Amino acid sequence: MITVNGLVAIDALGLTFRAGAAGGHRLVTWAHACDLTDPWRWVAAGDLVMTTGVGIPEDADKQVDWLNRLADINVSALVVAARADAPKIQHKMLAAAEARKFPVIEASFELEFVKLARRVIRVEASRQLFQSYTSALREATDFESRLASLGRREGWHVEIKDLASGRTIVSSGEPPANGGRQEIADIPGRGRAALMVRHRKEHKIIDPLLVHYLAGLVVVELEQQAIERDHRRSEGEVLLRDFLKGVVDFAAARAVLEWRGCKVRWSVSPSTRQERQRGNRDRSTMHRTCARSNHYCCKTTS
């Protein structure tokens, strides 16, 4: 969620404080353009009120009353991009705003309110997406289930594909038969993957910036999974080498493998008398590990 200070800091918007800069920490939850004489009836707490000034009264005292009624409902700030025929904002109104720490911001009339509103809306949409993603993290234990949870919350179909092979790495479920336009964002990291998102409702469009934002969230989890795979692979190499050397006995190795979710089978084969005698000198004459479909088979003679 962006603050009033955050909006003023965006050079491209050309916003400047006229009064109430001390209230710049206020959060902006939405943006609303209104030129009516009673905007407090149409906006809500947290809204950024944008006006060309034609609804502001001309009299100084009436301007103060107009400002106070707007500030009383806890809107975040007032942005005035004055038209040529709009009443001049009086010093008394600015003093009242300063006393209440209520931000009054000046903008050029050339500023298109839609650009300012879009900026606010995108920030709010990003915040909601982040909340959906963190909720999915709490609800599901595996990546696929988390994407499915996110997809249900947002009404999206989400898919991650490996660009080299074209293989789907993970998805939120079956794609919609008639969905919206697909948006694609490259996922940074060690692999070449892409995030593909489309709305489940036909003709519904997803903001491409939100898809890029989601790609930034997803890459953290993908990189963490890659690091964990590398760590497990390294541990497995050490375990197998020590097992073949006889440094680790079967019971210890089996416990580690089963903890990792591997199925372990133990078989004992008949041996000759000579082999049994040799086995007295070395109780483990052969260890064989096979890794077929995550099945580890160990064989020894005794």
- More confident call, 22 vs 233: 22
Contact (CB, 8 A) for 180 and 205: yes
Is the pLDDT at 75 greater than 90? The verdict is yes
Closest by alpha carbon to 4, among 91, 79, 81? 79
Contact (CB, 8 A) for 49 and 66: no
Is the pLDDT at 43 greater than 50? The verdict is yes
Closest by alpha carbon to 147, among 189, 197, 183? 197
Cα distance between residue 34 and residue 96, in whole Å: 21
Cα distance between residue 77 and residue 50, in whole Å: 9
Question: Which residue type occupies 214?
Answer: L
Hey, is 6 helix, strand or coil?
helix
Identify any residues that bridge with 292 across adjacent strands, giving them in sequence order.
295
**pLDDT tens digits for range 201-228:** 888 888 787 888 888 888 877 777 777 7
In angstroms, how far apart are the furthest CA atoms of the chain? 114
Is the pLDDT at 89 greater than 90? The verdict is yes
Hey, is 126 helix, strand or coil?
helix
Cβ-based neighbour number of residue 273 at 10 Å: 7
First to last CA, the chain: 69
- What average pLDDT does the segment 267-281 reach? 51
**pLDDT tens digits for range 115-169:** 787 777 677 777 778 888 888 888 888 888 888 999 888 899 999 998 888 899 8
Cα distance between residue 52 and residue 77, in whole Å: 14
Residue 2 region by backbone torsions, left for phi larger than 0, else alpha for psi between -120 and 50, else beta: beta
Residue 226: what pLDDT?
A: 75
